[in-house]
Structure 1
Amino acid sequence: MGTWDVGPFGNDTAGDWCDGLDNAPADARHDTVRDTLARAAGGTGCLDAPTAEKAVAAAALVAAQCPGGDPTDAAHGPEEPLPDLTGLRTLALEALDRVLTEPSELLELWARSGGGPWQTAVNRLRVTLAPPASGEQPALS
């Protein structure tokens, strides 16, 4: 696992995926993000680490467009403009839930190395992606 940070773009797999997203035609980027999330969310059996790492990066792109979302990593995230991804919030949450549910190779790998900070980062994405409760205003941070 070529990983240097607990953030969604802090690994080689996510970086390569973002490069591919940058190289995709502009009108295909939404579908690329959606398909990446769907692969993780819809998988059965053990979710492999590369699929999970891509899904976490894709979910971070969706979260970045939501109220209170952190901006994407300028050094390792995509450089090209992205379409509106906010319609993928539910799918992004489903993908992150799958990443955090056994059997998940990425969850296992992080657990072996004291993955508390990684889980905190993923849970922060989940909080950002979750729709506000009825009548509540979204939290801005």
Structure 2
Amino acid sequence: MPEMPTKLAEIVDEFATAPRDVVLEMLLEYSDAIPPLPAEFSGREGMEQVPECQTAFFLRAEVTPEGTVTTWFDCPPEAPTTRAFAGILAEGLAGATVGEVLAVPGDLYHRMGLDKAISPLRVRGGTAVLARLQRQVREQSAS
């Protein structure tokens, strides 16, 4: 059974072991880690909205013929915490296989200790982002 990608596991460990007062700073660093959207998604065409997020958040996952997953996220700069969730996933899942993406635990943000640093509503939004991303990967890999 595959495990979550090594890079994502390292990020989880960094957050889990960081002092609480540093966690928010770390989150802000990840809010800048989202790559710009390619032109084909400029109008959010082909992207799925995550309504559980308090802010407008869109995502798209694609499974390549080689079985790796490419992700895209769109979230406004005014929502740094939500952007940080996307940045963590963008960096942690870069080059990941279908099995690795599906092996990411649903309680990822709890394991990171974020439930002690940010509101439950924000954690729920981040959890919904991961669930939708995994659902897209599952659907594409099944076809």
Q: In which range does the TM-score fall when normalised by the shorter chain? A: 0.3 to 0.5
TM-score (normalised: structure 1): 0.36
**Larger helix share, 1 or 2:** 1
**Larger strand share, 1 or 2:** 2
